[in-house]
Amino acid sequence: TDRAETLEFQAEARQLLQLMVHSIYSNKDVFLRELISNASDALDKLRLASLVDKDLVVDTDDLHIEIEVDKAARTLTVRDNGIGMSRDEVIEVIGTIAKSGTAELLRKLRESADAGAKQELIGQFGVGFYAAFMVADRVLLTSRKAGEAGGTRWESTGEGTYTVEPVDSAPQGTSVTLHLKPADADDNLHDYTAEWTIREIVKRYSDFIAWPIRMTVERTGAEGDTTTEVQTLNSMKALWARSRDEVDDAEYHEFYKHVSHDWADPLEIVHMKGEGTFEYEALLFIPSHAPLDLFSPQGRRGVQLYVKRVFIMDDCEALTPNYLRFVKGVVDAHDLSLNISREILQQDRQIQVVRRRLVRKILATVKDLKANHAERYRTFWSEFGAVVKEGLIDDLENQETLLEILSVASTNDPAELTDLAGYVARMKDGQSDIYYATGESRSMIENSPHMEAFRAKGYEVLLLTDPVDEVWVERVGQYDGRALRSIAKGQVDLDTEEEKKEAEAERERQRQDYADLLTWMGEALADSVKEVRLSSRLTTSPACVVGDAHDITPTLEKMYRAMGH
């Protein structure tokens, strides 16, 4: 019609859609999970809005999701009577991929030639609404936002452009209609008009959804007569409120995918309950891979907060410290007000207690992984170690546990990381300190002249290459009563008393022999160094530059300079 407007998808959205249209992801069934997940979020938001916003007049008596199939037209519709979207929201969220990490995903996809690796990347990113284009060659969305009079109709084939047009009468909420691709378009397509296919997919991926997912089904009687009835396909049990032995891993995994928007299974499940003065249930997950925006300030962080089954907010930062920002899941706190704001939550004493317990439990889970599941622990540490180390700076209360779960590279073994306990166990007789070196890469540190004396002595050195390492080693200072000492700072003393006396005598002789040279070099280099002195730390290199014990290291210096100090 003449009110329709054709608009272009934003560039990144267009590229992502191309991947969906040309279907490089083989498990097509997940499109339904994504649409149901969005519908469920929309119902959560409407219920919260109706409770919090007294001016919003909406009917919330029968909030539900509906699946409708038209076999003749080959369409599948997912409908909800949730919060809905305004015209601007439709354009904003459906025409644009707002998710942080999209550019990074696309770059990695371009670099990767291997189809399996590409699928995995897409799964880790979780494509959301666009998954509809894996099974449909045309998608129609109609939405009316709660409290608004008119609606919006959106339509696209997923190829570059979409149209939007106002519609006068639309039911409140959103309906998404898929014009299904021909059944033979792709080997991985199931018949999404078949009742049993839909039933199975809903049961497998969306059983825990808290709202009824309904479908009208046909039944043929003994006399060949057909009747129809409306059935609810899901059990609607809030997983976090059930006890652990009632829930199987597959259910946990699908729930994780709903709350995290990840398509891959989680690495660990943490299910806990708090009783007493402040009741809560928590169902948390450690993902199996880091999100692409782990280090971006726009990245999603934190878990969802519910109050007695009512969804309150996504990304509740008050419930987990920043260094555990990759943890996903749900906390249902029973005694909070539905109106609670983010600011008040940060101050709430009970929330602080819950947060403390969650942190302890998560760290205990990691500790158990490390002790009993080496392979999974390795995955955990390679994905999240660099973030967890931030906890050594921020979270003094758990420093001891954090030091126990820490792993670092070391000269002991080029292929394996070590923990601090392992280092201490291998310390040489007469060695009293733990030595470490910081730098940009393992090979850079290993080739540094500072390493020579340690190599000669057979002393192990921890090789720290994450930017955060410099900061935590300084902050922590010691482990198990032994000082953490940089091999590049101050006077490093590797010798026994006797060796020292001998060496001192030798040095004194040398100082006299070289006095003129040292004076001359000191004057020549006066602008660049504080002092030129003879060193016992080198074995083959002629000279090296060392910092004072209290100087900042070159890496830190670089970091501060980059930050504009």
Closest contact distance (angstroms) between CB of 98 and Mg ion is: 12
Pick from Mg ion, ligand ADP, none: which does 80 bind, CB < 5 to 8 A by kind? Answer: ligand ADP
Instruction: Tell me: does residue 459 bind ligand ADP (CB under 6 A).
Output: no
The answer to whether residue 34 forms part of the interface with ligand ADP (CB under 6 A) is yes
Q: Give the closest residue to 357 by CA, choosing from 443, 276, 246.
A: 276
In order of 157, 174, 480, the CA distances from 165 in angstroms are: 16, 15, 68
User: Which amino acid appears at position 150 of this protein?
Assistant: G
Tell the smallest beta-carbon distance from residue 237 to ligand ADP (Å). 22
- For Mg ion, which is the closer residue by CB, 41 or 265? 41
The 21-50 contact track toward Mg ion, x by CB under 5 A, reads ----------------xx------------
83 binds ligand ADP (CB under 6 A): yes
Determine if 39 is a binding residue for ligand ADP (CB under 6 A).
yes
**Angle subtended at Cα 78 by Cα 77 and Cα 82, rounded to the nearest 5 degrees:** 140
100 annotated to a ligand binding site: yes
201: Cα separation from own chain's centroid: 26
Between 30 and 94, name the residue whose CB sits nearer to ligand ADP.
94
The strand pair at 266-274 and 280-287 is best described as antiparallel
Site for ligand ADP (CB under 6 A): which residue of 25, 31, 125, 129?
129
Q: Smallest distance, Å, CB 130 to ligand ADP? A: 6
Quote the CA–CA distance of 469 and 486 in Å, as a whole number: 11
Q: Does 128 show up as a binding residue in the annotation? A: yes
Q: Are 19 and 126 in contact (CB under 8 A)?
A: no
Burial label, 412 (beta-carbon count in 10 A; 0-12, 13-18, 19+)? middle
Which option in Mg ion, ligand ADP, none does residue 329 bind, with CB closer than 5 to 8 A by kind? none
261 makes contact with ligand ADP (CB under 6 A): yes
Any binding-site annotation on 444?
no
Give the contact letters, 376-395, x = binds to Mg ion (CB under 5 A), - = no: --------------------
Q: Crossing angle of helices 115-125/102-111, nearest 10°? A: 170
Q: State yes or no: residue 102 binds ligand ADP (CB under 6 A).
A: no
- Over the Cα atoms of the chain, what is R_g? 30
Concatenated DSSP letters of 50-107: HHH-TT-----TT--EEEEEETTTTEEEEEE-SS---HHHIIIIISS---TTHHHHHH
Contact 354, 274 (CB under 8 A): yes
Member of 33, 82, 445, 469 binding ligand ADP (CB under 6 A): 82
> What three-state secondary structure class fits 438?
strand
What is the footprint of ligand ADP within residues 161-220 (CB under 6 A)?
174
Please indicate if the annotation marks 80 as binding a ligand: yes
Nearer to Mg ion, 41 or 279 (CB): 41
Residue 80 sits in the site that holds ligand ADP (CB under 6 A): yes
Q: Which stretch binds ligand ADP (CB under 6 A): 35-43, 68-76, 384-392, 509-517?
A: 35-43
Binders of Mg ion in range 123-142 (CB under 5 A): 128
* Residue indicated by tokens 């990245």: 299
Does 2 show up as a binding residue in the annotation?
no
Q: Is 365 annotated as a binding residue?
A: no
Q: In terms of DSSP H, where are the helices of 348-466?
A: 349-372, 374-388, 391-394, 399-405, 420-426, 442-446, 452-457
The one of ligand ADP, Mg ion, none whose footprint includes residue 93, by CB under 5 to 8 A per kind, is ligand ADP
Q: Contacts with ligand ADP in 392-451 (CB under 6 A)?
A: none
User: Does the footprint of Mg ion cover residue 95 (CB under 5 A)?
Assistant: no
553 touches Mg ion (CB under 5 A) = no
Q: Does 38 bind ligand ADP (CB under 6 A)?
A: yes
The three-state secondary structure class of 283 is strand
Of residues 168 through 187, those in contact with Mg ion by CB under 5 A are none
Q: Is 223 annotated as a binding residue?
A: no
Determine whether the annotation assigns residue 342 to a binding site.
yes
**Considering only 21-29, 38-46, 453-461, 482-490, which stretch makes contact with ligand ADP by CB under 6 A?**
38-46
Instruction: Please count the residues of this chain forming the interface with Mg ion, following the rule CB under 5 A.
Output: 3
Burial of residue 206, with CB atoms counted within 10 A of its CB: 0-12 exposed, 13-18 middle, 19 or more buried: buried
Q: If you count DSSP H runs as helices and E runs as strands, how many of each does the chain have, helices first?
A: 18, 20
CB of 101 to ligand ADP, least distance (A): 11
- In the complex with Mg ion, which residue's Cβ is closer, 37 or 411? 37
What, of Mg ion, ligand ADP, none, does residue 473 touch, CB below 5 to 8 Å by kind? none
Q: Quick one: tokens of 544? A: 């090296």
Other Cβ atoms closer than 10 A to 76: 24
Q: Which residue is nearest to ligand ADP (CB)?
A: 128
Q: Under the criterion CB under 5 A, does residue 304 sit at the interface with Mg ion?
A: no
Residues 323-362 that bind ligand ADP (CB under 6 A): none
Displacement of CA 424 from its chain's centroid (Å): 33
Q: Is 234 annotated as a binding residue?
A: no
Residue type at 47 in one-letter notation: R
Q: Is there a contact between 163 and 5 (Cβ–Cβ < 8 Å)? A: yes
Q: CB–CB of 368/404 below 8 Å?
A: no
CA distance 350 to 456: 55
Nearest distance, CB of residue 254 and ligand ADP, angstroms: 15
Nearer to ligand ADP, 153 or 537 (CB): 153
Q: How far apart are CA 376 and CA 266, in angstroms?
A: 11
Distance of alpha carbon 302 from the chain centroid: 9
Q: Are 87 and 166 in contact (CB under 8 A)?
A: yes
The answer to the question of whether 372 is labelled as a binding residue is no
Q: What does 507 bind: ligand ADP, Mg ion, none (CB cut-off 5 to 8 Å by kind)?
A: none
Stretch in the footprint of ligand ADP (CB under 6 A) among 76-84, 222-230, 311-319, 478-486: 76-84
Count other C-beta atoms under 10 Å from residue 12's C-beta: 16
Residue ranges in contact with ligand ADP by CB under 6 A: 34, 38-39, 42, 80, 82-85, 93-94, 128-129, 174, 261
Residue ranges in contact with Mg ion by CB under 5 A: 37-38, 128
Binding-site entries for ATP? 34, 38, 80, 85, 99-101, 124-129, 174, 342
